[in-house]
Amino acid sequence: MRKAAIWMALLFCFGGFATVTAQEAAPITYGETVSGEVTGDEPIFQYTFDGVEGDTIYAFMYTPNDDLTPTIRLTALGGVVVSEASDNSPLGAFLGPLTLQGDATYTLVATHADWDAESTGEFELTLDRFAPTSLEPGVAVSGNLPRAGAIAFYTFSGRANDIVRFNVTGSNLGIAVTAPSGEVFVSNGIYDNPSTLFNILPETGDYNIYIQTANPGGDFALSVEPVEVQTLTEGLSVTGTSSETEPVIFSFHGDQGKLMAINASVPDADSRSMAIFPASDPCCDIVRDYGSGPNGSARIDPFIVPATDTYYVVLWYDLYSEDNAVLDYLVLLTPSTLISLAPGVEVNDAITPDTGIKTYTYTATAGEQVSITLAQTGGDGGVSLHVTSPDGSDVLGFEDASARSYEKGSVRSLTFELIFPVDGLYRFEIGNTDYDPTTVEYSLRVE
């Protein structure tokens, strides 16, 4: 099974192909690609080469399908294992880059993973010197990957805490980046245009970039773009203009437990999205919105600050009728003013195109059991209910309500029994099931 997680990329093929169908060692030279097929009768292929102390090399074992779980092993004299890699790339196994520690005859072993001894299949194995092309931040480069499994290597210098975006365009591509320490810093699977939103460099030094393709061949473009981060201050709106290909990044300081609201307006866009990332772990967003605000604007309200930290807000949008559209935006950070639900107190309200989804909060204790009554009291739409826990996981999903659906324009009342799993603040979101811009009136009671 392909892995879309940690990978370090693939190969440039400059040499001819040779086919080996026996287990005895065969020669391989830098820049050469050999091919074979791991079977039950021939599970191990060995290739020898003369290495020189100081050579920095890599090897890549490309597997064109999921049948083989590949492993590459580099051994020195006496069979001492120098390095090994198993199925660590979306398209195979990548070993290196590593610097040879002495002049010797080395052996590359191509086989299946020890933990998947029954796997079989075809492979192509490339050995070459690792010679990445220097890349200047802010300067785009382009290239061609001649076949499936091919790779291009680049390097750039960065400083700790610099914020950059890796822009990659092309079909069926993957990108991986390693930090100066050798740790994988960015790793994606295979996608069209696999650009990143933003990345905070963890160290000062030289970073390596790997671009690979699963296509028979194709062009790509790459750039490392410095990212400007705009500071959000409570009550002060931030305005600007941006291309839909360049998400806008903001930051703010949040104190643990505080309820915040972030509203983002891009009036002329067809879709708007917004996500929040903590500075302490910027690899994954902790909340994301796809246009729950008025007229499809992006809105996160409330954002319950999980820990005192700096938080990054990413805003991006799409204008379906135009590529690379440049549009105006406005972003506002404020304290949340959501209504808190209280047991036995009924809330009567309405959802309109100008309000978007209506959100309420409820403070619960673990094991607390309640009855939630949601009634549609008027309007042309249909209402749905979504309840999320303090950690953002679903407690009651939209589909639970819509599965027992409301008839549009009718007066309906449904009751849900719910046991809260943990202590904390829960979100109750009331949505309109009608895709058209309609109005729906409702009442909500928790008891």
pLDDT in tens, 252-282: 999 998 999 999 999 888 899 999 999 998 8
pLDDT band with cut points at 50, 70 and 90 for residue 18: very low
Confidence of residue 313 (pLDDT cuts 50, 70, 90): very high
Looking at 204, 226, 248, the residue that finishes a domain is 226
Cis bond upstream, residue 97 (ω within 30): yes
Which residues are CB-contacts of 275 (< 8 A; sequence separation ≥ 6)? 197, 285, 287, 288, 289, 313, 314
Taken in order 126, 128, 130, 133, the sign of the CA dihedral is negative
Q: Which of 172, 199, 226 is the last residue of a domain?
A: 226
Which run of H or E residues covers position 401? helix 398-402
Residue whose C-alpha is closest to residue 380's, from 406, 345, 361, 347: 406
CA distance 380 to 395: 27
Domain hosting 267: range is 229-335
Residue 2 domain flag: no
For residue range 385-418, list pLDDT tens digits in order: 889 888 878 887 643 343 343 333 344 778 888 8
Same domain, 294 and 320: yes
Question: Considering the entire predicted model, what is its pTM?
Answer: 0.75
Q: Say yes or no to pLDDT of 90 above 70.
A: yes
Residues 86 and 147 in one domain: no
The domain tally of the chain equals 4
Domain finish residue from 286, 320, 335: 335
The answer to the question of residue 396 being in a domain is: yes
For residue 137, pLDDT beyond 70: yes
SS3 398: helix
pLDDT at 19 over 80: no
Q: What is the largest CA-CA distance in the chain?
A: 83
Q: Which residues fall within 8 angstroms of residue 157, CB to CB, at 6 or more apart?
A: 205, 206, 207
Q: What are phi and psi of 433, to 5 degrees?
A: -75, -10
Residue 442 lies in a domain: yes
Contact between residue 116 and residue 69 where contact means Cβ atoms under 8 Å apart? yes
d(CA 363, CA 425): 4
The CA distance from 223 to 388, in Å, is: 39
Which of 79, 219, 206, 197 minimizes the C-alpha distance to 140? Answer: 219
Q: How distant is the alpha carbon of residue 346 from its chain centre? A: 41
Residues 197 and 255 placed together within one structural domain of the fold: no
Q: What's 52's domain CATH number?
A: 2.60.120.380
